[in-house]
Structure 1
Amino acid sequence: MAEPFIIGNAKLYLGDCRDILPTIGKVDTLIADPPYAIRNNFGAQNKLDGKRTLQFAWDGAATRDETIEAIAASGELANAFFVFCGASQVSFFELALEDRFTVKPACWIKACPPPAMPGNWWPSGFEFALYGYTPGAPFNDADPRRRNVFYSDTYRAGIRASEKVAHPTQKWLPLMREIVVALVPEGGSCLDPFMGSGSTGVAAMLEGRSFIGIEKDPVYFGLACERIEDAQRQGSLFGEAA
């Protein structure tokens, strides 16, 4: 069994989440950004400052069943969830989680989406998500104008660019902090079985929650450890709220 790397109130596992999930016990909330099981071969496209890669070795149609299995297993451990997903995954994730949760759609609309590239029709300016809850699950967003549509930025030149790290699908930290605050009770715990560069963990540290993260890529795992350790050390000084 994999042993966790402990950083304060974070437990980080290097390995396949399907092997590790049965060992970790209950958490309050699942927050995940799994591979999107993208079927199209986008390759790379030229942009002013180089090439923008749109296809990744760890993603593709073959990942669909793996991510469904992992998300279903993760949902058994949590009282609420928020999962980003590709278009082909939405119905599969909903079916995998609907027996335990009330499931609703959500989306992240990007304030500054990627520009249109040659040969690309309408570039994506949003990402799909699902969220769900069990009876009595905590919900901390008291904004009367709250919606299931999240308008939030992305990393770009001059806009929190210093936070961008070497991960191609790194999530915008202010968005992740908003989700953590809304769905994880104060002092509670959240799980990310597809940790990547650790943005969910960073958000959890900054908001006083505990975190369990799982990542099977050693390079991204090391990056997540560094970011989460930095967030533990700096506390609320690690990036201002958006």
Structure 2
Amino acid sequence: MGVIKPHRQLNKKQIEQQADKVLAAMQSNDFMPKKWSNLAERTADFFDLCVDWVSFDSEQDGIVAAKIYPTDKRIELNLDFQALHTNEGLYQSTVSHEVGHWVLHINQAEAEGAIFQGELPLTPAMDREIFLCRTVDEQMLYQTTQRTQSDWREWQAQYFSSCLLMPQFKIEEARKGRNLLNWNHLKAIQEELGVSQRNLVHRLKDLELIEESSKRLYPGRRLKSGEPLLASWQESSSTPD
């Protein structure tokens, strides 16, 4: 089959199910972090993915925040990209984005087999195939109008990241006693979950809890109806394949 899985047009429900399965597996193996904002790193540890800081070659790589090398089981973060050091939300999103590639796009048995069988070093052509890059333009990643397979993989990994860091049951917990139409309350949720404001707003919009126009927040369909989100591990992990 190869290290990289064939391209699949995964929809949002399928991606969210994969993220929920990862969280359920971590929970059942007592692998959840004590502080939710450390979830991305803890998830990388769960898959035995090493996270390293490396200076990237901007001429060769362009503006890239991170890479994943499947046959090394290694995520590399761009040491020279300062926002990764100062913006916790971007850091968590970036690490969990690369974990999303590992879960959704990499044949893990093949990748681990390459390590155990000593198949490295790889040819230049293989090397280009086995790592996936993440650009820093998160706003573009949320759009679903991409044309290439690489673009779709990036969108899928970003949506996985959003579902992993902000699962429905966790949003339900975090919003209790808070007003989702109040920016100060959103800031408190953002800090609690360790995500960026824009990622939180995108997630709440996707869950139909809020709508946004000209930086003003309005109630979404679910908020208007009082419809609850998933409120437990059991519910979030019981969705069928």
- Structure 2 length-normalised TM: 0.29
**Structure with the largest fraction of strand:** 1
Q: TM (normalized to structure 1)? A: 0.29
Whichever structure has more helix as a proportion of its residues is 2
